[in-house]
Chain A
Amino acid sequence: MAEYRKQLPLITAVDKPFWDAAKRHELLAYCCQNCGTYYSLIVECVQCSTPKMEWVKVSGKGKVFTYTIYHHVYNPLWKDDIPYNAVWVQLDEGLIMMSKIVGAKNEEIYVGMPVEVVYDDITEEVTLPKFKPVG
Chain B
Amino acid sequence: MSSEDLRDKYAFVGVGVTKQGKIPEMNADDLATQAIQLALEDSGMKKGEVDGYIFQPGAGLSTVTPLHRAGIPAKFHWQMQTGGATAISTVAAAIGTMEAGLCQVCILLYANNASSMRPPAGGATSGTPMAPQPRSTEGAYGIFGPATSAAFMARRYMHLYGLTKRQLGAVAITFREYANKRPEAIMYDRKLTIDDYLNARMIVEPLCLFDCCLVNDGAVALIITSAERAKNYKKRPVYVMGYGLDHSLRELGGAPQDVFEWDGFITQKAGDHAFNMAGVTHNDVDVAEMYDAFTFFCLSQLESYGICKKGEAGAFVEAGNLRLDGEWPSNTSGTQLSWSYLHGFTHLVEGIRQMRGECMECQVKDAEIAMITGVGGLGVGSANACCILRR
Contacts and interface: CB of A to CB of B under 8 A. Distances in A.
Contact of A112 (B153, B159, B202, B254): B159
B142 A68 contact: no
Contacts of A126: 140
Interface string A1-36: 000001111110000000000000000000000000
Given A65-B156, A71-B203, A43 B143 contact: no
B127 to A, nearest CB: 5
Contacts of B143: 86, 98
A115 to B, nearest CB: 14
- Majority secondary structure, B binding face: loop
B72 to A, nearest CB: 39
B142 A100 contact: yes
Given A68-B205, A98-B253, A74 B152 contact: no
A127 to B, nearest CB: 11
Nearest to B128: A74
A33 to B, nearest CB: 15
B81 interface: no
Most buried by B among A8, A11, A70, A78: A70
Nearest to A47: B256
Interface stretch (B131-139, B179-187, B230-238): B131-139
Contacts of B139: 6-7, 75
Interface residues of B, number: 42
Contacts of A81: 142
B124 A86 contact: no
B129 interface: yes
A67 B256 contact: no
A10 B134 contact: yes
Contact of B254 (A37, A40, A84, A88): A40
B254 A67 contact: no
A128 B256 CA distance: 23
Contact of B142 (A47, A84, A90): A84
B253 A68 contact: no
Most buried by B among A47, A66, A78, A128: A66
A117 interface: no
A112 B155 CA distance: 12
A72 B203 contact: yes
Contacts of B262: 65-66
Contacts of B155: 66-68, 111
Interface string B253-282: 111111110100000000000000000000
B204 A75 contact: no
B142 A75 contact: yes
A84 to B, nearest CB: 6
Contacts, number: 127
Interface string A75-114: 1011001011010101000111111100000000011100
A72 to B, nearest CB: 5
Contacts of B125: 72, 74
A7 B204 contact: no
Contact of A66 (B127, B159, B202, B259): B159
A105 to B, nearest CB: 14
A78 B204 CA distance: 14
Interface string B181-206: 00000000000000000000111111
A122 B142 CA distance: 13
Nearest to A42: B254
Contacts of B202: 69, 71-72, 83
B255 to A, nearest CB: 7
B140 A7 contact: yes
Given A7-B135, A75-B142, A86 B148 contact: yes
B21 interface: no
Contacts of A98: 137-138, 141, 143, 253
A77 B128 CA distance: 11
Contacts of B254: 40-41, 43
A8 B139 CA distance: 7
B151 interface: yes
Interface string B148-176: 10011101100100000000000000000
Contacts of A77: 133
Contact of B204 (A39, A40, A70): A70
A11 B134 CA distance: 11
8 contacts: A9-B136, A47-B256, A71-B203, A72-B145, A75-B129, A86-B141, A96-B257, A126-B140
Given A10-B135, A74-B128, 19 more contacts: A6-B139, A7-B140, A8-B135, A10-B137, A41-B254, A47-B256, A65-B262, A66-B152, A68-B155, A71-B203, A71-B204, A72-B201, A83-B205, A86-B141, A86-B148, A98-B138, A110-B159, A111-B159, A122-B140
